[in-house]
Amino acid sequence: MKQQQFETENLPLWDEVESLMSDLQLNRHKRQLTTEQHQRFPALYRQICSHYALARSRGFSPALVEQLHSLVLRGHPLLYRFRGAWLWRTMQFIFAGFPTAVRRNSGYFVVSLLAFLLPAVIMGVACYLNEDLLYTVMSESMVAQMEQNYDPANDRPGRAAERSSETDFMMFGYYIMNNIGIGFRTFATGILFGLGSLFFLMFNGLVIGGVAGHLSRLGYHDTFWPFVSGHGSFELTAIVISGAAGLILGHALLSPGQQTRLQALKKGAFNALPLVMGAAMMLLFAAFIEAFWSSSSVSISIKYSVAALLWSLVALYLIFTGRNAHGSE
């Protein structure tokens, strides 16, 4: 068959596919064609593919081959595109996907926890014993600010005295930006052979432990601990989970096993993603608690009871949720 004959015979088909594809690219409610017409697309697309293969193997003109290739190229993502049920997937994620992912990667979680907890405890004890040590990880002005915030003379602990309750929402925004940002960075820098994640975990451990030791030494127990114990449950656990996600990337690159490093990295990234997103979710919740609950002036005993409740909630959630969910493990 000569090219021109081939073109005249199939031109109506190509035009039909073209208009069908233009229609499919529109939003669902803007489409003109009927469902029956849309259902013809897979069959038509496969015909176009065979025309393209034919045109190439018969040595038809480059412009025609290019024309058919562009039809094939346009159709491919339309046929194989991804459609998500967002709400269902989110619920599925919260009640099964995330906790099961944490349990599946419990080894990474433990390493991450140690990388955070050991520096925190050591620095905490050291700062409790030595009043100058905190200045090695924080600047003088930051320490002064911290001391002022938790001074028992300040009636709303955890924030500067001059702040009003309107700033609670401001602080909510700040905690979201700062804490979730730290969570994301702790994960992302894990791609540098795990070093970035380890750095963020250890540095945060040093600072948090150091501040806790320093303020306890000053005798600010009753302002500091009730403030941080509540939101700490979700916040610190989430940072450790973000670190675990980063360590997955680092481990994949350092020890890819039977795969290439690239394959291992890809697999690791998709394995780590639920941890990062779940940690972000927990940090969002922590920001809410920190902004509106931790800074409130309820009595210390209530604060500690709620903190105990929140810590057990985190533990129960991560250990038990989604164990019998359909399709989990």
Partner 1 sequence: MVFGMKEGTPDSPLDTLRWYEIPEGVMLQFRLAGPVVRACAWAIDALLRSVIYIVLAVVLSLFGGLGGGVMLIGLFLIEWFYPVVFELHNGATPGKRAMGILVIQENGTPVTPSASVIRNLLRSADFLPFLYAVGLIAMLSNRGFQRLGDLAAGTLVVYRDQIKERVTPSNAPPLKPPLNLSEDEQLVLLSFAERGGELSEERRQELANLISQQTGLEGAEAVAAMTAYANWILKGR
- Which residues would be at the binding site for partner 1 (CB under 8 A)? 2-4, 45-46, 49-50, 52-53, 56-57, 59-63, 65-67, 69-70, 72-74, 76-77, 80-82, 84, 164, 166-174, 176-177, 180-181, 184-185, 187-192, 196, 249, 262, 265-266, 268-270, 273, 276-277
239 vs 190: CA distance, rounded Å:
13
Q: What is the DSSP string of 24-84?
A: HTS-GGG--S-HHHHHTHHHHHHHHHHHHHHHHHTT--HHHHHHHHHHHHHHHHHHS----
Least Å distance, CB 162 to partner 1, is 13
For 191, residues 6+ apart whose C-beta sits below 8 A from its C-beta are 246, 249, 250, 253, 265
Q: How far is the CB of 282 from partner 1 (least distance, A)?
A: 15
Q: How far is the CB of 97 from partner 1 (least distance, A)?
A: 11
Residue whose entry in the numeric block shows the structure tokens 């997103």: 277
Q: Is 256 helix (H, G, I), strand (E, B) or coil?
A: coil
Measured from the CB atom, is 73 or 254 closer to partner 1? 73
User: Which residues have CB under 8 Å from 181's CB, separation 6+?
Assistant: none
177-184 LR contacts (CB < 8 Å, sep 24+): 179/235, 179/238, 179/239, 179/283, 179/286, 179/287, 180/280, 180/283, 180/284, 180/287, 182/239, 182/242, 183/238, 183/239, 183/242, 183/276, 183/279, 183/280, 183/283, 184/242, 184/276, 184/280
Among all chains, which residue has been given the structure tokens 């018969």? Answer: 58
Give the Å distances, CA to CA, from 319 to 93, 100, 260, 316: 15, 8, 33, 5
